Amino acid sequence: MADGIKGKQYQTYRPQLQKGILLHRSIDSFTDSHPIVKQSTKRLHPKYSHYSGVIVDILYDHFLAKNWKKYHRKPLAPYVEDFYDLLDEHFELLTPSIQRMVPHMIADNWLLSYAEISGIATVLYNMNRRTKNISGMDRAVEDLQLHYHDFENEFTLFFDELKAFCSNRIKELDIQFRIKNT
């Protein structure tokens, strides 16, 4: 949702959502400039050009879902169900484009499907269709399989750094909003 909220539009949301939007923006910046992510992206760039960053995001989603138990106590399936329940419960807070997407996300259980290569293949196929078949993203599953261990190792190293970054950024945002609201 945060991707569709531009500039200072985030300020129209309640403080907790504002923090989430700002955290999302920080995560995007951290990710896009990270040397490990750039290494993954570079592997794909000759075939997919500027779409390689989007593909790496999707591949990293796979490794997060596949290795979920390393990162969270709650198993992925009930975690995803709880997340879908939250989407339903707070549906009115979502942007219109996300409101249109949510029923498809839930019906096809996107988040759980990311744990399987077949789920990622479906995501890549659909992303390719959204680019009117220009990106060739549907073929990136072959690159995933060919370089599976390289991508997984890069994700693991990156994600450890991302967790530390997020922890610090959340503390900064908490301080920033506490000062703003005093």
Give a three-class secondary structure readout of the chain.
CHHHCCHHHHHHCCHHHHHHHHHHHHHHHHHHHCHHHHHHHHHHHHHHHHHHHHHHHHHHHHHHHHCHHHCCCCCHHHHHHHHHHHHHHCHHHCCHHHHHHHHHHHHCCHHHHCCCHHHHHHHHHHHHHHCCCCCCHHHHHHHHHHCHHHHHHHHHHHHHHHHHHHHHHHHHHHHHHHHHCC
Q: Which amino acid is at 161?
A: E
Taking residue 95's Cβ as centre, other Cβ atoms within 10 Å add up to 14
Alpha-carbon distance 92 to 54, whole Å? 28
Band of pLDDT at residue 182, cut at 50, 70 and 90: low
What does the pLDDT read at residue 178?
A: 86
Taking residue 21's Cβ as centre, other Cβ atoms within 10 Å add up to 18
Mean predicted confidence (pLDDT) in 127-141: 95
Q: Write the pLDDT tens digit of every residue in 53-95.
A: 999 999 999 999 999 999 999 999 999 999 999 999 999 999 9
Cβ contact 98:1 at 8 Å: yes
Q: Write the pLDDT tens digit of every residue in 93-115.
A: 999 999 999 999 999 999 999 99
Taking residue 88's Cβ as centre, other Cβ atoms within 10 Å add up to 11
The domain locations on the chain are 50-180
pTM here is 0.92
Mean predicted confidence (pLDDT) in 138-145: 97
Band of pLDDT at residue 3, cut at 50, 70 and 90: confident
Percent of the chain with pLDDT over 90: 95
What does the pLDDT read at residue 179?
A: 84
Residue 47 has pLDDT above 90, yes or no: yes
Alpha-carbon distance 58 to 119, whole Å? 10
